[in-house]
Structure 1
Amino acid sequence: MDEHEPGTPPPGPGGSPPLVAVVGATATGKSALAISLARRLDGEIVNADALQLYRGMDIGTAKVSVREREGITHHLLDVLDVTEEASVSAFQRAARTAVGEIRGRGRTPILVGGSGLYVRAALDRIEFPPTDPATRRRLEERAEREGTAVLHRELARTDPEAARTIGEHDTRRVVRALEVGELTGRPFTAFLPRPDYEDPSTVQIGLRLERAVLHERIALRVRSMVEQGLLEEVRTLRALGLDRGATARRAIGYEQGLAVLDGTLSCSDAMESTIVGTRRLVRKQDTWFRRDERVHWLDAEPDAASPLLQRALDRFEAAVTAPGRSWT
């Protein structure tokens, strides 16, 4: 690869900047690192946190404020009302459009987020199967009437690979797999994400923390959110229709906040429930991202000898200049 100026991103295919993704579990410091990378690599940030797509869900999602963005342009923040349902396929289209536009300005696109499927949708060759409300409703009614086990046996006959990976009592996924089969004539597993970058210049940098340290950060973060006014934020969003939001109202912290407003949870119990729910989410995120062998992992804990930004830049540089790296 040709020499390039220090502090500027080596070129990707056709001379365009590589696509950088900062991934990992909640509370590992992804947003701060992404902003630092954007400053050094002349970049713009594309959000890949499903809940930060929602307007007004700021405190409970730890969304970076305008001041914290340090003048770095952010894309796909605050693009949905809380009554709307987030769509991975719609996000995929929007994220890829944003990446193309950033590159069109000669800048480096930096994707950041902990929503695993959204990250994969933006980075990988993934095709999303169609949906049909009538077909899904008919299958759901059958599951209610006949039992999910009957539908699972049907799935085992028509799509045995999907049946092996979906639990016999997982009604939602059994119904979805049968729906996809009916609508496309293809097995559900044909649409599952596989590690195949849409853009071969992609570099994923993952942040990790010792579980005990991460748990402490989560507890501190939840307490801080409450002090910053999370309950007032939930009350404001309820007036905007939060209760009608299929996705937003079930978000960790917001579901508990609604319960406090309804008098079914005390504030202390809601905080504890939010901490426990966030820890559960972290385990899922950890499992999801660690399955991806393409992620370049960094310890997020402070290191006086080598600050996190420098370690990330070193790892990025090594990845994009690796011998044999394919750019086509």
Structure 2
Amino acid sequence: MSKDTRPRVVAIGGPTATGKTALSVALARKFDGEIISADSMQIYKGLDVGTAKVTEEEKNGVPHHLVDFLAPDQIFSVADFVGLADGTIQEITARGRLPFVVGGTGLYMTSLLSGLNFAPEKTDPALRDALNRRLAEEGPQALYEELVRVDPEYAAGVHPNNTTRVIRALELYSATGRRMSDEREASRPAQPPYRSLCLCLTCRDRALLYRRIDARCEEMVRRGILEEAELVYRNRERYRTAAQAIGYKEFFPYFEGTQELNDCVNRLKQASRNYAKRQLTWFRRQTDAVWLYLEDGDAAQRAAREITAFLA
């Protein structure tokens, strides 16, 4: 019987504001690991507060990868992430260390762990133009609601304002009748490229999760999110991804003089809570995960036991 030589990977996912950063750093220190960020916004330079980017102090000496390396006017896709993350996993493994893939962008994490193959997409310019016209006329919510109707599984992992992914999925469905979720499933290899353990951190009590999210939003305001949001607002035509992201667009009405700051902060809290619900839906549908609950008080100890058994 041949020995399985695939790299081992520990993934830590779950909704925002549950403490994934602190847990992953503690575990990486314990198991001689390095961390690969699976966050679609923490890749951007200069956008630190609004993305809850890990600080040098929080890293506590643990190497972090795929964080803070791309200019905010650059587009970055899930295919880009999978390619870079796979190369990083190979490098970490070759150094004799354990890769930890950590973040809340479920599409990134599950695409990486399942080994999705991203073939070049064939596009229909006329159909793409028609969808973009609808976007301008009807707004992003209308297109997202259509995606929910035709492909609820894929829609669960896509933010309503991520119009690029929404339009691509609708374009595929309109042109071929195939759903993006089915395309992704068909592109999975028979065997995943890694031996992986996925841990998901959350709260049993949804009210506790929401209180943690609200507290994080208030801390972001204290740390200067308004300055970052104004930078994104001034450059919104170039910083297209950031201009659609939770944490920045909620403050645009304040800069336009149409809404009070406190109302914008409340909008940020609500948007973050809604995002957490979508994250939970995605991870529960897509991953064979071990769930760790903050109320139990032993999440770190249980995670360590799971990793020890996984590595044995």
* Counterparts of residues 273-288 of structure 1 (less than 5 Å): 273-288=267-282
How many residues of Structure 1 are paired with residues of Structure 2 in the alignment?
A: 285
* Displacement after TM superposition at 1:62 (Å): 1.0
- TM-score when scaled to structure 2? 0.81
Question: Residues 23 and 112 of structure 1 are in contact (CA less than 8 Å); yes or no, is this contact kept in structure 2?
Answer: yes
Matched, 1:177 2:168: no
User: Structure 1 unaligned runs (5+)?
Assistant: 1-11, 148-161, 322-328
- Report the residue type matching 1:78 in the other structure: D
* Displacement after TM superposition at 1:293 (Å): 5.1
Distance across 2 between alignment mates of 1:71 and 1:22: 19
* Displacement after TM superposition at 1:135 (Å): 5.2
Question: Residues 166 and 174 of structure 1 are in contact (CA less than 8 Å); yes or no, is this contact kept in structure 2?
Answer: no
Give 3-state SS (helix, strand or coil) of 1:52's partner. coil
Matched, 1:137 2:118: no
Matched, 1:55 2:45: yes
- TM-score when scaled to structure 1? 0.77
Distance across 1 between alignment mates of 2:214 and 2:153: 34
Give 3-state SS (helix, strand or coil) of 1:288's partner. helix
- Go from structure 1 to structure 2 and tell me whether the alpha carbon gap of 1:141 and 1:81 turns closer, same or farther (over 3 Å shift): closer
Give 3-state SS (helix, strand or coil) of 1:79's partner. coil
Distance across 2 between alignment mates of 1:250 and 1:138: 20
Distance across 2 between alignment mates of 1:91 and 1:300: 29
For 1:91-113, what per-residue CA distance to the aligned partner results, in whole angstroms no more than 9, with x for missing partners?
Answer: 11011111111111111000001
Distance across 2 between alignment mates of 1:274 and 1:164: 24
Give 3-state SS (helix, strand or coil) of 1:244's partner. coil
User: Structure 2 unaligned runs (5+)?
Assistant: 139-149, 156-162
Distance across 2 between alignment mates of 1:291 and 1:188: 15
Of 97, 101, 111, the match for 1:111: 101
Matched, 1:235 2:230: yes
- Go from structure 1 to structure 2 and tell me whether the alpha carbon gap of 1:213 and 1:138 turns closer, same or farther (over 3 Å shift): closer
Of 268, 275, 293, the match for 1:299: 293
- Go from structure 1 to structure 2 and tell me whether the alpha carbon gap of 1:135 and 1:35 turns closer, same or farther (over 3 Å shift): farther
- Aligned-residue sequence identity (percent) comes to 33
Matched, 1:19 2:47: no
- Go from structure 1 to structure 2 and tell me whether the alpha carbon gap of 1:318 and 1:164 turns closer, same or farther (over 3 Å shift): closer
Question: Residues 20 and 204 of structure 1 are in contact (CA less than 8 Å); yes or no, is this contact kept in structure 2?
Answer: yes
- Go from structure 1 to structure 2 and tell me whether the alpha carbon gap of 1:262 and 1:111 turns closer, same or farther (over 3 Å shift): same
Of 79, 85, 88, the match for 1:89: 79
Question: Residues 85 and 245 of structure 1 are in contact (CA less than 8 Å); yes or no, is this contact kept in structure 2?
Answer: no
* Displacement after TM superposition at 1:165 (Å): 7.5
For 1:157-197, what per-residue CA distance to the aligned partner results, in whole angstroms no more than 9, with x for missing partners?
Answer: xxxxx789899xx9833323345x49xxx875542247876
